[in-house]
Amino acid sequence: MQTPLPLTLLSRIEDAGLNASAPPQQRWVDGWLVRFSPGKAKRARCINAVARGHLPVHEKFALCQRVFEEAQLPLIFRLTPLSEPPMLDGWLESNGLHRFEDTRVMVNADLGALNAESLPLGLQMQRVGHTAFAQIVGQMRGSPLSQQQAHAQRLELSPVPFEGWVLRRAGESAVLACGQTAIEADLVGLYDVFTTPEARNNGLARKLCAQLLERARKRGARAGYLQVDASNAAARAVYRHLSFSDGYAYHYRSPSDQID
């Protein structure tokens, strides 16, 4: 049985994840962090109930709803074990908000024990700028230009520095895999790890992630975290191979059941 990770570590990781996904379009509403970026990432266009605040829940809900209406975005809540007040998830459910996208925050609490894997002969890692990385990820996701631009803006203005990397064959321009890191103190987050369909099942994502984590470890990172869809068995297997295990879960709720 997996030993539970310290709550202090998980709380720090939750803070680091919020910091790393901070868009310029955000404000506080009585203890709730309200984000309304037009980008693809739901972490940057949702309500995070960070603190209990003082207003009744229904009043805060109405204030947040107005923000999303003005931004012409669907209202989305992100619920974690740390959400306040604790009864919020049940309240949202009773008021007709649908649950979707169960996610796991996976943690490697000791990067010092990780064995970095060498890249296959003929492959090389290259660092790319924020705009280029957002475009590469957007094309892999099939995101429209507006979402790619919002992603690039968020990376450029992030309070936590990001590094975007791609994996290519030497002398070729085609991207085989990509990923980025966000380092805050002794924590490193893995974000936007993708492998092109034609390059899958070759262990490239695992090797790229191992290299990124090793780079972060050399710069002082002691623990790593990432967020992955609970149903993505293939990705979760890759991360378990890198000694990540489930730290905690979160999910979203929205009045709409058609959220992309």
Beta-strand pair 245-254/32-35: unpaired
The pTM is what? 0.94
Same domain, yes or no: 172 and 242: yes
Cα separation, 177 vs 164, whole angstroms: 11
Range of the domain at 147: 111-249
Same domain, yes or no: 117 and 99: no
pLDDT band (50, 70, 90) for residue 86 = very high
Cα separation, 216 vs 222, whole angstroms: 8
pLDDT for residue 2: 67
Same domain, yes or no: 143 and 219: yes
Cα separation, 170 vs 158, whole angstroms: 31
Examine residue 260 and state whether it is found in any structural domain, yes or no.
no
DSSP string, 86-152: TTHHHHHHHTTPEEEEEEEEEEES-GGG--PPPPPTTEEEEEE-HHHHHHHHHHHHT--HHHHHHHH
pLDDT band (50, 70, 90) for residue 256 = confident
Same domain, yes or no: 71 and 136: no
**The last residue of a domain, from among 103, 130, 159:** 103
Q: Is the predicted pLDDT of residue 221 greater than 70, yes or no?
A: yes
Span 153-207, pLDDT tens digits: 999 999 999 999 999 999 899 999 999 999 999 999 999 999 998 888 888 999 9
